[in-house]
Amino acid sequence: MSSPRKFLILAKEEVTQYTDPVPTPAANSILVKNLKVTPLRVESEDRALMRPYLGNSEQIPVMEEAVIEFDVELAGGGTPLATVPKWGPLMKACAFGETVVAVTSVTYAPISTTFKYVTIYAYLDGILAKMTGCAGSVSLEAAAKRLPHLKFRFVGKYLPVTDVAIPGSSDFSAFQQPKASIPANTGTTTVDGYAARVAAVSLDMSNEISHALWMNAETNEITDRKPRGSIVVEEVTVATKDYWTLVRNATLVAFAWMHGTVSGNRVQVTAPKLQLVDVERTTFEGANALRFNVTFNPNTGNDEVAIVCT
């Protein structure tokens, strides 16, 4: 009997879309949780035949794809500095560029051309589901007293499911231990220059993925993005910080959030033009708080957000 607790996910960047680069457990294992795999998703057309009796006609598949969703704990790349985190290839397949500054940092920022793709192997305790040409979207979620994480969703080309045992030699050693979102680990969060007490932060890139079957070709592309999210901060007096006017005036403000304090395991999110779209009064741990839906807007282009590992 197979177990829903035994699985292995491998992911490797492709040189050419749909060409399997053959990820290996030793080099390309991804440490995930909350896994959901749909090895085959089909769209069908009803033949709708007219006959002298009642009954169904066959549903003929006209579209097939593979879909996978999972979470990866948010942590840095490790030491030495400028080590690419193991989740880096996944970010690149979600329309992020990767900039490595030697002995300093690895930065992920959105791109609009020259997209990258990954091949993903999902070993499901006796079953292997492969998908190539995967394009995806990613969101980041962090909340007080919780482990922050990245949520990925990928769509790719379906390959036949086969019976394969989970291989040995998986290596997760490069994944850093995550740190809880507590004062000892989370640095200053600033909204429009104001250092706010923050209870939760989320960012969803909301990539639009177009997986299309032409009559004689298959394409899988990211066609747009509309980054959005939310933040929950302590409610303060208007004299201290006038959030209300920022909402009313649709003011675009700078935003920064830092998680982690140890070199090699720090991740910072910055945004040059965040908009507080609306505001709702709420509470957190018995204190008054404000919850904002937000959008992340470009400044000069492809700079709505930066995720920096140091």
16-35 pLDDT, tens digit per residue, is 999 999 999 999 999 999 99
Per-residue pLDDT at 3: 67
Cβ contacts of 51 within 8 Å, gap of 6 or more:
none
Give a yes or no: residue 124 inside a domain. Answer: yes
Per-residue pLDDT tens over the stretch 71-85: 999 999 998 889 999
Give a yes or no: residue 48 inside a domain. Answer: no
For residue 152, the tally of other CB atoms under 10 A from its CB is: 24
Give a yes or no: residue 3 inside a domain. Answer: no
Per-residue pLDDT at 5: 74
Per-residue pLDDT tens over the stretch 267-278: 999 999 999 999
C-alpha span between 137 and 95 (Å, rounded)? 8
**Considering the entire predicted model, what is its pTM?**
0.96
Give a yes or no: residue 55 inside a domain. Answer: no
Per-residue pLDDT tens over the stretch 75-120: 999 988 899 999 999 999 999 999 999 999 999 999 999 999 999 9
Q: Percentage of residues in the chain with pLDDT exceeding 90?
A: 96
pLDDT-derived band of residue 2, with 50, 70 and 90 as boundaries?
A: low
Q: How many domains does the chain have?
A: 1
C-alpha span between 135 and 84 (Å, rounded)? 20
Give a yes or no: residue 148 inside a domain. Answer: yes
Q: Name the average pLDDT for the chain.
A: 97
DSSP state of 88: H
Question: Is the pLDDT assigned to residue 235 strictly greater than 80?
Answer: yes
Q: Name the residue range of residue 105's domain.
A: 8-43+60-309
